[in-house]
Amino acid sequence: MGNKICYHPRMLLTEDIALHFKSSQLVRDVIPIIDKWRRDGAELVFGVQEFADTFDVVCDTERQFNVFDTDRNGKIDAHVVLMVYILLSCGDIGKKIDTAVSVYDFARSAAGSGLINFDEAVIMVNACVRGVQKVCEMTFTIPEDELIFHCKSMFDMYRVPHDKSITPKQFKNWVLNDASPRHFVNLFHMAQGIGDIDNAVQRRNLDQGMVFQMLAHGELEVQPKALRTSVEFLRTLDDASPEELEALIAMMLEDSHEHTPGMISIDRYAAVLRPWNIFNECDQDKSHTLDDKEVEILLWFQLRQRPSQEFVHGFSKFLDVDDDGEVSRTEWTTAIIESERLARTGTRHAHKHSKYDDEAEEMLLELEHDPHREDKTAGDERKPGDELHVHSRDGTSRDLHLETTTRTSVERPGFETSAFPEMVTAS
């Protein structure tokens, strides 16, 4: 469980059942389901109908059931489903641990008096791991011998022989204070779907749109000086340094010949800030730099599918202009702006650093979405080769940068068709 877990800073949820569980509240939704399960006899296995009835699954029931029924025998372990439901739900992490322990009803277990013996600890930890491995798209596995090792370390931490028992409080303290179980629980406790990141980016886009509207006084262009001196604009950038601010403004001024020279258009403003905002949402520790694993989440969000490890490693090296082993916000934003320019015009700025060679161009173009993947929306009757949602637009950067409004496998009802909806009518 150790280094494998610690190396993964965040879990991105893609399976429908994982997103269904993540949308649930621990106290409001999960605990009442567990109470009802107990009242109905606390069956150890679920069939398809019991699964649907217990967890309020209203569509694609059999497909979601099969996520757990990996051996296709028509039965799934109730404890495995409950453990992953508890882990992914929204709620206090301490309350989650208490709820997980309560599911096993240790007061009537072999140890008696609410204590947890070694075998029961292994069973509980194993159910948690098996559940998330089935539901979440993971690039690593935790073998059973490793789980046993960690359970032994738990008993050893309290100097309790392996043939004796520990208390639920000791189990909870182990999860909260030992690095390996703490990282494991937090990985899923803090898990997000693509839609969650989209929502956060959209909110920040809207904040920045309001700032632009205020500074431009209703016009579609703004002076760089207005952005440099605006406290409200700086607030939306998440502690940008003076150097980062100047880099952003310089990118906004690129291609200014397409509008009033020396002015920043709303199109360019939005196109530059969106990748900046995406980076900030993926930067969980707010260090303003990303390592390989954080870049994986960033690319996963950008591409709408998990990138290969080779692509992540190669892209990280390509982005890391100063060779410090990490990717900065400016490096990422520059790369996305270059990818948009390459896709739109087939050219790039000649003054860009030497890493933008032919191989780099391929990587940049890879960041542009596959339109066939974007247009798999329910009710969309178009076939490959027909006009597509994104590329049938007028090609302005205002539209090209709005991946939040493209159709993906994650439903995001109610999204506006522009990052700055208030300004669309003005143009």
Q: What is the mean pLDDT of the chain?
A: 78
Q: How confident is the model at residue 360 (pLDDT cuts 50, 70, 90)?
A: low
Answer with the residue of higher pLDDT: 33 or 400.
33
Q: How confident is the model at residue 333 (pLDDT cuts 50, 70, 90)?
A: very high
Identify the CA nearest to 12 among candidates 194, 164, 154. 194
* % of the chain exceeding 70 in pLDDT: 74
Q: pLDDT tens digit string along 19-54? A: 888 888 999 999 999 999 998 888 999 999 999 888
Calpha distance 30→36 (Å, rounded): 10
Q: pLDDT tens digit string along 133-143? A: 888 877 677 88
- DSSP codes of every residue in 388-405: -TTTTS---HHHHT-GGG
Identify the CA nearest to 59 among candidates 15, 14, 17. 17
Look at residue 258 and tell me whether its pLDDT is greater than 80. Answer: no
**Dihedral (C-alpha) 37, 42, 46, 51: value to the nearest 10 degrees?**
0
Q: pLDDT tens digit string along 270-314? A: 999 999 999 998 887 788 988 777 788 888 887 877 788 888 888
Least confident of 173-182, 206-215, 315-324: 315-324
Reported as type and span, the H/E element at residue 129 is helix 118-135
Answer with the residue of higher pLDDT: 415 or 379.
379
Residues 62-66, mean pLDDT to the nearest whole number: 88
Q: Where are the domains of the chain?
A: 2-190, 194-424
